[in-house]
Every structure is written in C-alpha cells, then in structure tokens.
Structure 1
Amino acid sequence: MLRFEHIEFLWGLAAVPLFILIFLWVRRWKRKALLAFGDPHTVRRMMPEVSLSRPGLKFVLYILAYASLVVGIANPQIGTKMEEAKKDGADLMILLDVSNSMLAGDLAPNRLENAKRAISQLIDNLHNDRIGIIIFAGEAYVQLPITTDYSAAKLFLNNITTDIVPTQGTAIGAAIDMGMKSFNFVNGTSKAMILMTDGENHEDDAVSAAKSASAKDVAIHVIGVGSAEGAPVPIYKNGRPVGFHTDETGKTVVTKLNEAMCKEISEAGNGVYVRASNANSGLNIVMDQVNKMEKKTYDSKSFKNYEDRFQFFLGLSVLLLLLEFFISNRRNLKLTELNLFEVR
C-alpha cells in the first residue's frame, strides 16, 4: 500500500503548469526579439554558438527535478507487512442533516459547520470503534462506509456541504434505513447511530424507522442542532450570502429546532437526546452512552510497517540538477564542424 506522510506538500505540483506557461511565454518573446533583427537564417549564422534546443532540454530537466523534489518532500511510504489484528470496539454511524435549514446561523458559524466541528472532535477521541457517515436531505447517501480509517473520515467530513445532495428536504427515516443497510450484522459488534439534525420538515416516518432499528439492538442517539427561537436561512451565491429564503408571501423564513420530533425519535430508538449549543455539542453525553455499550472483538487488517521512499526521489532530483548543470546553453562548434558522412 502506498501513502504519503505529508500529502499536503503535493500541492506544490500545481505550480508545474504555471512554470511551463512562463517558459513558453519567455521562449516566444525571445523568438520575436530575434525576428526583429532581420532574416532568421542570417541571424542564426551571426550567432553560431547559440542553441535553440538546449534551453528546452534544460527546462525539462528543471521541471522533472522540481516534481521529484516535491514528491520526495511529501515522503511516499510503502506498507511492507499486512497484519490482521483483533480489536474491541463498536460500530458508529453518523447521520448528518445537510438540508438548507442547516445553514441557519443560530449556532456559530452555522448549524452544519457546528455539527461538523463536533464530529471532527468525536473522531479525534475514537480508538478502536469503527465509524461511518451518512448524509441526508430529501434523500440519503452513504458518504463514508464503516471504517477504522479516521484520517479518511475527516477528509470526507471536510467535503460535506448542503450542495452535496441534489434533493432538499429532511428524510430522517431514509437515513436511518440506509444506516441499517450499511451495518454488517454478521460480525456481531455493538452498533449505534448518532443523528444530528434540526428535525424540521421531516418527510417520512422517522419514528417507525427508529423503532425498527431498536428492535435489532441498534440505538438511535439524537443531537438537536439549532435553537427554539430559530434563525433565517441564508441564500449563498458564489460562496457569499446574498439574502434569506422567503415564503410565498415574501416573508423571511425562520427555521426552528423541532425538539419534539428529535425527542420522539430518540425515545423510539432507545437512545438519548441532547440539544447542541455553541458551548457544548452534546456529543460527550452521547459518547458516554456509546462507551457503555458492550465492546465486541472484530478483525481489522492494517499495514504494520511503512518504509520511507523519499530518498529515491530526492536522489533523482539531485541527479537531474547535476545533469542540467553540465548541459551548456551553447553549441560546441568543433562538434558541429565534424561531418562524418562527408565524401572526400
């Protein structure tokens, strides 16, 4: 398995196209400057030592050396040994509401970002528990299958926005059903879902879905994201708020936390309900319940050792730079005058 220890440094490769464009522009400018002197053939005869091809070759070596250096700094690593470890933990599925009402600002900076920040903190505190993420609005989608790869979980979490789901609404029941389908009931691990929603405008029978999950020993814990007072739902254009959603009469829509629905779902799912606030996400209370669950053993395959491979790329970069150093921009006239195929 290949991975990069410092994958963020690979962004340096984005500069390669820019370097190429600059080189082509400078090359074009030089050609125009030479044409201003007169006939190209005559100008070349006046500068017999000037090579038109060698600067391009040197530039190619520069680019390859730079790219190799960037990859070396990112430190590619190869997993050398896969082992199957026995771990004790539970399976957690996060059900995250991404409907437009989650953009309301009654929780800073808004409901969705507040929930994502709480989930990120949850991931930081996990050890052997496996985690998955389901996003939902009018429909539900698996964003991340059950995994122990916490780095991947954070990566997927960071990319979640309200635009990621094409259909708006709040299909909580569909999200719970999707979570049940995503669990592997063969391995026998304890399972729970953590639902983070404002509970507004629910479109299906979420309570029945929660009861069905509870019947299979899957607890549904609910975190209410929002406030009873509510807040208007902003409209974004090019990443900036340009106003608020309005109803048919032109009145600004105010979205409020449907706390009664959230409590009903948690009771039906044999879980706990907590209302999030700016000071406390409520996940600590939920995790107390999760930690009380029976931890069961499951098998997890992972690479035990990773070997660094940065030295190969750094060595290649140095070799390319040395090669470029010994290539002159000028032609060797003595070699040019040799004509091995001339008939005397």
Structure 2
Amino acid sequence: MLQFQYIEFLFGLAILLPLVGLFLFVIHWKKKKQQQLGDNRLVTQLTSNYSHQKYQIKIVAVIVCIGLLILSAANLRMPLLPKGSATKGVDVMILLDVSKSMLSEDEKPTRLDKAKELIYQLLDKLQGNRVGLILFAGQAYLQMPLTADVTAAKMFVSNANTDVVNLQGTVISEALTLCNNSLDVREKKYKAAILITDGEDHEEKAVETAKTLTETGVVLHTIGVGTVGGATIKEAGTNDAKRDVNGETIITKLNPDLLEELSKTTGGTYQTLNKTDEVSARLINTLKEMETKPINNSGFVDYQSYYTIFLAIGVALLLVEIFISEKKTI
C-alpha cells in the first residue's frame, strides 16, 4: 500500500492556494491596467510581441513544480513486505564501540564513521532477518531490540555517537553479556553477533564472557577497526591530541589478537575493516550459511521510494519554464 513517509510536508501543499489566487489577481490586474492605458487598439499594437498564453504557461509550470517538490519531500513509498509477513532468517545483534578511541582518524573519516558505513551495507543485505543494536564504551546499552524494520535500524545507527554513553572506556564483556541476554536464550542456534571495535578492552573478562555465548548458541564475528600502528584521539572542539594525566599523547591501537581470540572462542570469524565492501560481502556470505528460522515481520522490512519521480518532473518543469519566452513566436 502506497504511503507518504513525511505526512507533515503535505501541509505545504496549502501554499498552492494563495499562489493560485495571486496568479489570478495578477491576470485581472494586468487586464485592468491595460484598459486604463487608453485606446485598446494602440495598446494592442504596443504589446503585439507579448504572449499572454506563454506567460500563463510559465506561471502554471512554477506552481505545479512547487507542488511536485513538496510531494517529493513527503517521500511516497511502498513497503516491500507487509506487516505480519513471514520470512526465513536469523537473529543478528550488532555491537558497536562508541568510545572516544573510535574518533581516531587512522581510518577515514574516523573509525566510527567507517564502522557505521559497514553497518549500513550489512543492513541493506540483512533484509528478512532480525537485527538489534548495542552501543558500548565504559557501559553497554541496548539501543535497538531485535527488529525486521531496516529503515528504523538505519535511523538508530545514524544517531550513534561517542556522547550516547557517558562512562568512557571499552568494556567488551558487558556488551557481550547484554547481547546474550537480548537474544532468545532458549534457542541454541539461529543467532549471531557482530562486534565492531578497535579492541582496546580495559578489562580481562571478554574471553570468558564469549564462552557463555557459545553455550547459548551465539556465533560471534568480530570486526577490527583501526591500525596496529595506532593514532591519536582528537579532543572535541579543539582538535588537539588527547593526553593522559602525565601530559603524554595517547595513542590508540587496534588489538587484533583479542578480537581473533573472541571470534575463535565461538566459532566465528575475524576481519580487519579495510575495504568495507569486501568485509560486508564476506560477512553476509557467512551469515547466509547459518540455519534459518521463520521470522514474523512486525514492521516493514524496507520500502521502495518514489520521490525521485516527483523530483525529476518538478526539475524538468522548472527548466522548461526558464526557457519559455513571453514573446510571441513569429
């Protein structure tokens, strides 16, 4: 069923009524002024090169263009899968590190931005599965419970930043525990977790916690973001390198050894996030090999948008209006 995503923009169509009224007023005003100028035949001769019809076409084109642009902004769309439809898939929990070290720029533009780019690609390819999102630094929070609504998932990912978790650090074990509790512990399969971090853990419980994931049937895949050589962390607002209490510049480094050990513990895979396309493709292929279960879609999996149609026609009309002359064609 077709629907508009941003219904509030449709109220903008109300502006067309005063525009049409203004247009009719101008036409009436022009006729009145023409009559006031004097001899009708003389006025006609003086304005013989002017096309009243072309003027009207230009104004109508502008008004229709405004209406089409408003409809484009409202984003007419159609759900690809209706509510309540059933697909086969798995439950995937994404664990994203949002600690300050993820602002390092050894991956461009930052580690966090590159991680989010990977998640966007994964979400596009995970349609039909249920996906959840956990954000963690010194603490872990369930940002989004499992859902089949890809559009909602992308919105939560876009809002992820280093300010959403007040306590800084990188406590992977707490994120893993929350992940395990957020998945169905009664099932011993159909579950995967994707941990995206630079691996700078500040406590030693991560490997032990990963073993509990194995007991409940969760396969953990780890993605390392950053470089082994490391990089500085820029202070917000000043762009100065972050320093420790002794005044020494802090260098944050990727810890691939920990991430490899975590993935091996649960029978998962480890990859360094170099080329986003290749990493997402390999990870999706791995997930596709998992045994699936029926998944009821409580929302909409994704949408086909049609805003480009209104936008293209509107821009075309605007270009036509620009090139239409108000002079008569001889």
Which residue number corresponds to residue 113 of structure 1?
A: 113
**CA-to-partner distance for each residue in 1:63-82, whole Å, 9 max, x for gaps?**
xxx9xx96996278999x97
Counterpart position of 1:91: 91
Distance in 2 (alpha carbons) for counterparts of 1:228 and 1:211: 26
Equivalence map 1:182-331=2 (5 Å) = 182-186=182-186, 190-237=190-237, 241-278=238-275, 282-302=279-299
CA distance, structure 1, for counterparts of residue 284 and residue 242 of structure 2: 35
Tell me how far apart the structure 2 counterparts of residues 78 and 285 of structure 1 sit (CA, whole Å): 30
| Residue deviations 1:187-225 (CA, integer Å, cap 9, x gap) | 776000000000113325111111110111110100011
CA offsets per residue over residues 310-337 of structure 1, 9 Å max, x none? xxxxxxxxxxxxxxxxxxxxxxxxxxxx
Structure 1 residue runs of 5 or longer lacking an equivalent are: 14-65, 307-344
Corresponding residue for 2:142? Answer: 142
- What is the CA–CA distance in structure 1 between the aligned matches of 2:115 and 2:128, rounded to whole Å? 22
Q: Per the alignment, in what secondary structure is the counterpart of residue 116 of structure 2?
A: helix
Distance 1:11 1:222 in 2: 47
Q: 1:113 to 1:281 in 2, by over 3 A?
A: farther
In 1, the alpha carbon distance for the partners of 2:210 and 2:152 equals 28
Preserved contact between residue 3 and residue 78 of structure 1 (Cα < 8 Å): yes
Q: Distance in 1 between matches of 2:10 and 2:164?
A: 26
- Say if 1:214 and 1:269, in contact at 8 Å, map to a contact too: yes
Whether the 8 Å CA contact 2:89–2:128 is kept in 1: the answer is yes
SS state at 1:236 partner: coil
Give the Cα–Cα distance (whole angstroms) in 2 for the partners of residues 202 and 92 of structure 1: 25
Residues 78 and 261 of structure 1, relative CA distance in 2, 3 Å threshold: closer
Residue 201 of structure 2 aligns to a residue whose secondary structure is coil
* Contact persistence 1:123–1:150 (CA under 8 A): yes
When the two chains are superposed, the root-mean-square deviation of aligned CA atoms in Å is 3.4
Segment of structure 1 superposing worse, 292-301 or 257-266: 292-301
Runs of at least 5 residues in structure 2 that lack an aligned partner in the other structure: 14-65, 304-330
CA contact (8 A) 2:149 2:299 kept: no
Q: Which position in structure 1 is the counterpart of 2:173?
A: 173
Q: What fraction of aligned residue pairs are identical, expressed as a percent?
A: 40
SS at structure 2 position matched to 1:298? strand
Counting only pairs closer than 5 Å after superposition, residues 148-167 of structure 1 correspond to structure 2 as 148-167=148-167
Q: Which has more strand, going by share of residues?
A: 1
For 1:10 and 1:111, locate their aligned partners in 2 and report how far apart those are by CA, in whole Å: 39
Is residue 5 of structure 2 the alignment partner of residue 5 of structure 1?
yes
How far is 1:11 from its partner?
11
Task: State the shift of 1:295 in Å.
Answer: 1.1
Distance in 2, Cα, partners of 1:11 & 1:109: 38
- 3-state SS of the aligned residue for 1:163? coil
TM-score by length of 2: 0.67
Aligned to 1:329: none
Q: Structure 2 CA distance, aligned partners of 1:121 and 1:113?
A: 13
Give the whole-Å Cα distance in 2 for the aligned partners of 1:177 and 1:296. Answer: 23
Q: Distance in 2 between matches of 1:10 and 1:110?
A: 37
SS in 2 for 1:132: strand
How far did 1:279 drift? 5.8
Moved more, 184-193 or 290-299: 184-193
- CA drift of 1:181 comes to 1.1
Taking structure 1 as reference, are residues 303 and 281 closer, same or farther at Cα in structure 2, changes over 3 Å only?
A: closer
Q: Structure 2: which amino acid aligns with 1:208?
A: E
Kept after mapping to 1: 8 A contact 2:187/2:217:
no
How many residues end up aligned between the 2 structures? Answer: 249
Per-residue CA shift, 1:287-317, capped at 9, x if unaligned? 222111001113334579x9xxxxxxxxxxx
Q: Counterpart of 1:114 in structure 2: which amino acid?
A: K
Deviation track 1:231-268 (CA, whole Å, cap 9, x = no partner) reads 1001112xxx4311012332211110011111111111
SS at match of 2:202: coil
